[in-house]
Structure 1
């Protein structure tokens, strides 16, 4: 698939994805979502990718929201389909990606932009970033998992406050609330995200994927997270990486994992 709205590059086993609609503050339209879905699917399947760094072009916006002009005339059925397709193909796909996805929030992360960041496994924000879910000011609510993921990250009261008031918050407050992992100066943002991914690259890839699955299961009502953890823990024992990791530990050397 040839991308028109995102930039994609694999470098040192990291897939760099940049939403490249700077003049539109990187707003999400249907075409951009389709490209993101394709890129995330590639990341999950490619042995050349060990992690994903997701950011927005420029210094103003990570993603400043969805492209409202595309759905302003929708009815209820069309609106539900929009939300369901987006969640299934992009937001849930990112959350369930077996490769760690780090959001480098370089500016405004509003509406669908904040929902995109929340679907990522780890969030690093520039100190100038502003975050919010302003949908109620448009007569809507978040439709790409925002009500659910924000509640899980910051608690019901803070989530309802942010959604009902439609207020933006600073990166500093977002860090205090647990919405982002770390805040760094804008100039250090990409390096900070790379630093996390480079640390993860030193660990066993299959174990990292198992950890993502088990942690996600803690918030999935249809499964028992403890059972998922036990099953994934057991599966690790059949991997070559487990044998390499334990052997390297006993031999007091660094492991050389093979993703097998």
Structure 2
């Protein structure tokens, strides 16, 4: 497997399912990779050989730069827009419905949809390089699809702060104070050791108890299939606006 080819892969080690995604453009994810990621999470949730899931990305520097910019630029109708913005919605809903705890391993910066993925994990650990940004307002849309997941972790105050201040990377320690990250490590090596040890420890617990706990933690989100679809329609409409089209031209 070439390091420069996009991929989603699942590796099982001592009952821990490690799901890794990668794209050479700073782990910005096109629709086909997002669909594969959602399916892989669903499959891992149904796999009896897996007790705990770790979500991670390939590469050293960026956890996830959000959705594919090339696909975003080429949206010309609302139906295509809805499908595009449903990509991260489908992954977040797969994570929400997964009956197993998902541990996030965030090694570097994360933007837009990537913040949504980190927020949808059940327990998220990071390095000090894992600054976060919601940049959607910069191009004339907003973090509508990932908003519910981000707000659930950061609270309305924290989510609105980074959504409105769309130019700023907020440091990992800020994200830890707000409850997104549970621990922040100096190096990726320390992060990986901690994630592995934590996941192995969880494997010693009763799977039924963990499943019931996950259901409890996500109570109140049962409407997210419909909610995130509605949010995708809003983004799909806004991306066709003159403002956004003109803004995107400058990024080409």
TM-score w.r.t. the length of structure 1 is: 0.78
Point out where structure 2 has 5 or more consecutive residues left out of the alignment: 225-252
1:213 — aligned with what?
Answer: 215
Is it true that 1:7 corresponds to 2:12 in the alignment?
no
1:169 — aligned with what?
Answer: 170
1:141 — aligned with what?
Answer: 142
CA–CA distance in structure 1, aligned partners of residues 152 and 200 of structure 2: 27
What's the CA shift string for 1:84-113, capped at 9, x where partnerless?
3541x3111112211111110010111111
What's the CA shift string for 1:157-196, capped at 9, x where partnerless?
2211100111211111111111211111222111211222
Is it true that 1:59 corresponds to 2:60 in the alignment?
yes
TM-score w.r.t. the length of structure 2 is: 0.80
CA–CA distance in structure 2, aligned partners of residues 155 and 125 of structure 1: 19
What's the CA shift string for 1:205-231, capped at 9, x where partnerless?
011111101110155579xxxxxxxxx
1:84 to 62, 83, 86: 86
CA–CA distance in structure 1, aligned partners of residues 180 and 193 of structure 2: 20
Indicate if the aligned counterparts of 2:52 and 2:101 stay in contact, CA closer than 8 A: yes
2:121 — aligned with what?
Answer: 120
Is it true that 1:97 corresponds to 2:98 in the alignment?
yes
Give runs of aligned pairs for residues 1-260 of structure 1, distance below 5 A.
Answer: 5-21=7-23, 23-74=24-75, 75-84=77-86, 86-87=88-89, 89-144=90-145, 146-166=146-166, 167-186=168-187, 187-220=189-222
Describe the SS at the equivalent of 1:65. Answer: coil
Describe the SS at the equivalent of 2:41. Answer: helix
CA–CA distance in structure 2, aligned partners of residues 38 and 155 of structure 1: 28
Indicate if the aligned counterparts of 2:107 and 2:130 stay in contact, CA closer than 8 A: yes
Q: 1:93 to 1:221 in 2, by over 3 A?
A: closer
Q: Over aligned residue pairs, what C-alpha RMSD do you find?
A: 1.9
- Computing the radius of gyration from Cα coordinates, the structure with the larger value is 1
Point out where structure 1 has 5 or more consecutive residues left out of the alignment: 223-260
Q: Greater relative contact order: 1 or 2 (C-alpha under 8 angstroms, separation 6 or more)?
A: 2
Q: 1:76 to 1:221 in 2, by over 3 A?
A: closer
Displacement of 1:81: 3.1
Indicate if the aligned counterparts of 2:56 and 2:63 stay in contact, CA closer than 8 A: yes
Displacement of 1:30: 1.2
1:227 — aligned with what?
Answer: none
